Structure formats: C-alpha cells, structure tokens
C-alpha cells in the first residue's frame, strides 16, 4: 500500500482572499486583471514573511512554496465570485475610465495605453473607445485636447501677436498634416509639444490651440465692451 500524498493547505485561505478582495473593491474600482494582481501580491507578501531560517529551512521552504501555489489556485474562484456578484465588470470599468479620462483631457492614444496597463482586453478597449466617440455630440478627441489646453493654461491672450509675427497658421491644421516647426513661434512650438506628447495629432493640437485662443479673445472683447458701457 502506498501512502496518500500529503494535502497541502493553501498559504492564504479562500475566505481570507475574499475579504482581501472586498476590502480593495470597497476603496477602488478595479478590472479583473488588477484585482488578480492585488490578490497575488497579498499571497506573495505572506509567502515572504513566513520564509524559514535554520537547518530545516529547505524542507519548510518547499512546503511554503507548495502552500503558495495552492493559494494562487484559489484566485480564479474568488474572481469568478466577484464577477457573478457584479463587483467587477471589465466592460463597465472600461466605459467609466474612458469617460473620466476624456474629462481630464486625455487623448485616445493615452487612454488606450492606460487601459492596456490595467489589463483590459485590447479589442474591448477599441470597441468602447469607438462607441464613446460615436455617442459624443462633438469631436471627442478635439474636445479632450481643448480641455487639456484649458486645464494646463497653455494659451494666453498675448500669444496671438507673437504667433502671428512668426506665421499665419490658420490653415495649417486643416489637412492634419505636418507643420514646419521653423515657421511656428517658439511659444506655439512648446504648446504643440505638450499636446503631441499627450498623444494628440498635430492637426488636433493646432486646432485646439486656435479654438482656445479665439475663446480668450472673444471673452476679452466682451469684457472690454462691458467696461466701455459703464465707463
């Protein structure tokens, strides 16, 4: 007769993993991949803390490794429970992140990269971005660029003269093609650099800067008219 293999208890039990998941989801929204990473880190932290020392360290270390592996196998079940209860939903999470990111002035490129790092499926991200753009009454990419220009206060009222001295760029963005940076003022070049590094195309960047510049000039003109009326 052969002895039955010894059962190895998981380093972290299922109930404790569920409590860890609940505690995290109470504080943060998370994708399936993010929650999986959180639970894996918790198990690894327990594993490191219990590493033995001394003459019998090798045998105990092997048992700890086996217990860690057993705990990792429990994660799938915990994730499934969270999905069934609606605590995690990658599609809903993706939609929410896209809306909040657009409000912060993020480009499509930056949003896609952020969601990929959060472990969301590339096809899901592409579909949700496309639907978000289709459901928007305005050009979502342009509106996001405008928000970034306004949030970073990239444009000042006095920018118009310095830029006009360098080049009349009123049609430079129409074809969404390259612009000769040598023909653009130094300040406008820096403004464009901020937007392009944020993932916006040259055409969108030029158009957003022009729109915000025109808004500032319009608001300034209205203020001057009001002052004249009471002068």
Are 94 and 158 part of one and the same domain? no
Which helix (H) or strand (E) element contains residue 20? helix 14-27
Are 148 and 198 part of one and the same domain? yes
Higher-confidence residue: 4 or 55? 55
Give the angle subtended at the CA of 137 by the CAs of 188 and 202, to the nearest 5°.
25
| Count of C-beta atoms within a 10 Å radius of residue 102 | 21
Least confident span in 134-143, 168-177, 179-188, 220-229 = 168-177
Residue 199 sits in which domain range? 144-230
What pLDDT, on the 0 to 100 scale, is given for residue 225?
54
What pLDDT, on the 0 to 100 scale, is given for residue 96?
96
The answer as to whether 6 is a domain residue is: no
What pLDDT, on the 0 to 100 scale, is given for residue 136?
82
Are 22 and 44 part of one and the same domain? yes
* Residue 31 pLDDT > 90: yes
Which helix (H) or strand (E) element contains residue 69? helix 57-84
Distances (CA, A) of 106 to 118, 173, 229: 16, 20, 41
Q: What is the pLDDT of residues 37-84, one digit of tens each?
A: 999 999 999 888 887 665 556 667 888 888 999 999 999 999 999 999
The answer as to whether 2 is a domain residue is: no
What pLDDT, on the 0 to 100 scale, is given for residue 222?
56
Are 127 and 153 part of one and the same domain? no
What pLDDT, on the 0 to 100 scale, is given for residue 174?
45
Share of the chain above pLDDT 90, in %: 61
Positive or negative torsion for Cα 115, 120, 123, 129? negative
Domain count, the chain: 3
The answer as to whether 197 is a domain residue is: yes
Are 95 and 79 part of one and the same domain? no
Are 126 and 174 part of one and the same domain? no
Q: Which token pair is 32?
A: 């399936």
What pLDDT, on the 0 to 100 scale, is given for residue 124?
97
| Count of C-beta atoms within a 10 Å radius of residue 27 | 8
Are 21 and 60 part of one and the same domain? yes
Instruction: Write 107-115 long-range contacts (CB < 8 A, 24+).
Output: 107/141, 107/144, 107/145, 107/198, 107/199, 107/200, 107/204, 108/133, 108/140, 108/141, 108/144, 108/199, 109/199, 109/200, 110/198, 110/199, 113/199
Say which DSSP state 198 is in.
T
């Amino acid at each position: 007769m052969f002895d039955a293999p010894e059962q190895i208890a998981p380093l972290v039990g299922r109930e404790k993993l569920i409590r860890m998941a609940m505690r995290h989801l109470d504080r943060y929204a998370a994708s399936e991949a993010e929650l999986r990473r959180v639970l894996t880190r918790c198990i690894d932290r327990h594993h490191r803390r219990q590493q033995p020392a001394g003459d019998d360290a090798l045998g105990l270390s092997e048992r700890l490794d086996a217990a860690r592996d057993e705990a990792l196998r429990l994660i799938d079940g915990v994730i499934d429970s969270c999905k069934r209860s609606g605590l995690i939903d990658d599609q809903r999470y993706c939609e929410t992140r896209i809306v909040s990111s657009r409000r912060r002035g993020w480009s499509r490129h930056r949003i896609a990269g952020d969601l990929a790092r959060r472990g969301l499926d590339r096809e899901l991200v592409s579909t949700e971005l496309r639907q978000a753009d289709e459901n928007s009454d305005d050009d979502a990419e342009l509106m996001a660029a405008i928000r970034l220009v306004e949030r970073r206060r990239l444009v000042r009222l006095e920018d118009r003269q310095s830029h006009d001295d360098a080049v009349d760029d009123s049609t430079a963005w129409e074809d969404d093609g390259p612009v000769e940076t040598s023909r653009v003022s130094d300040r406008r070049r820096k403004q464009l650099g901020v937007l392009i590094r944020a993932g916006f195309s040259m055409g969108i960047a030029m158009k957003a800067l022009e729109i915000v510049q025109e808004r500032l000039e319009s608001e300034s003109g209205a203020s001057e008219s009001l002052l004249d009326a009471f002068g």
